[in-house]
Structure 1
């Protein structure tokens, strides 16, 4: 629990140091509804997934909460907190750092073993994005003390986004590092009225390690 409080205190300190330096501040909220919850080569829960989010941003800084709740018989609830900072490097390049606290309802939020913390760095160069993330559980047992690495390269090729990801631990069948996420996705906006359009996205995902293959579509509100 002390480690959880230390990380939370560090997040609040960064928040207090960053926000006063910028002028533009904005609150935003939204809801995505997907036929399935797909993430880094895996599908969670059964049935449609409702994914709400709330975020406060100020300049390059952002802090928020994001969740996913399945409507099927097998629940896959998730309620995360995150904070990050993005830098514009110029020449169509950007760099961002994010710290996420993953929490899965069903256990007490105040217990350290209920949390998985992940620092992540992403570099965008033109149409390419490169991401590195390292997730660590705070518990003492074999599952909650996991330490998993995930690396990803993605490219936007016109209307299609192509993603190639590799990881170890939870991402693969045997725990060894290998390719675990091959995804092809696309999106468009459907005009509902003259002033309102509905964003729609879809993806096909294959995990060569586990053999999992899934298709999902969703809308954003």
Structure 2
């Protein structure tokens, strides 16, 4: 598959999504000025959806631009020590009411597996493309429901993953409970099952009005793999 065909597929997929939600978007008042934000986390280990990516610790910067309900962003993970691959991701998302539709491009590389960023050959690429749909409800008591599907790239099993999350905010504190299940594929485990159960406690640190770093502690269990993780993080 050529790079141009992959690019055309991205554009077609997102255009269809945008047309689908445009009627809902007309009911909302969107800010006309773009908003840029950025930050970073330092985490004791990189655990994602119950998988250990062997970063001990990991530096994870991010940046995004939001405008008229669209968000364009990048998220990365760079190991300080450990044997895992480094990662640079790009995403585009459209939010309308409680629904967010997103397209992610995950790219991993290392000295032993350098890869080529513009290589989208399905047999040799280091990219994974994933479509996401997220439903969110509430504010101080928030429920998030994620459905995601890897449809192209370095996961030939085309894994499908779902996650439910409850977030309780009280003052400068936040507590989240989550459960994740692999419905199809072998990316998160060799067979379907629960792969990501846990909780996270987060506390904001008052420094000054426009700068509020936070610390968090997470306990994560992957029942399918029999793995348990405890993660500490500092974000700003």
TM-score bin, normalised by smaller chain: 0.7 to 0.9
Question: Contact between 2:215 and 2:234, CA under 8 Å: does it hold in 1?
Answer: yes
Q: TM-score, normalised by structure 2?
A: 0.79
Q: Over the residues paired in the alignment, what is the CA RMSD in angstroms?
A: 2.5
Q: Which of 192, 203, 220 in structure 2 is aligned with 1:205?
A: 220
Question: Contact between 1:186 and 1:203, CA under 8 Å: does it hold in 2?
Answer: yes
Q: TM-score, normalised by structure 1?
A: 0.84
Hey, what does 1:120 align to over in structure 2? 132
In the superposition, relative to structure 1, how do residues 193 and 25 fare at CA in structure 2: closer, same or farther (>3 Å)? closer
- Residue correspondences, number: 207
Unaligned 5+ runs, structure 1:
89-93
Q: For residues 59 and 96 of structure 1, what CA distance do their matches in structure 2 show? A: 13
Deviation at 1:193, TM superposition (A): 5.4
Q: Which of 3, 6, 26 in structure 2 is aligned with 1:4?
A: 6
Deviations 1:121-161 (A, max 9, x none): 011123211110001333xxxx5423001011111245421
Deviations 1:32-63 (A, max 9, x none): 11111111011212311111112111031101
Question: Contact between 2:55 and 2:78, CA under 8 Å: does it hold in 1?
Answer: no
Matches within 5 A, 1:6-155: 6-10=8-12, 23-88=32-97, 94-105=98-109, 106-112=114-120, 113-126=125-138, 127-138=142-153, 144-155=155-166
Q: Which of 176, 181, 194 in structure 2 is aligned with 1:179?
A: 194
Question: Contact between 1:78 and 1:104, CA under 8 Å: does it hold in 2?
Answer: yes
Q: For residues 134 and 27 of structure 1, what CA distance do their matches in structure 2 show? A: 28
Q: Which of 136, 153, 156 in structure 1 is aligned with 2:167?
A: 156
Question: Whose strand fraction is larger, Structure 1's or Structure 2's?
Answer: 1
Unaligned 5+ runs, structure 2:
23-29
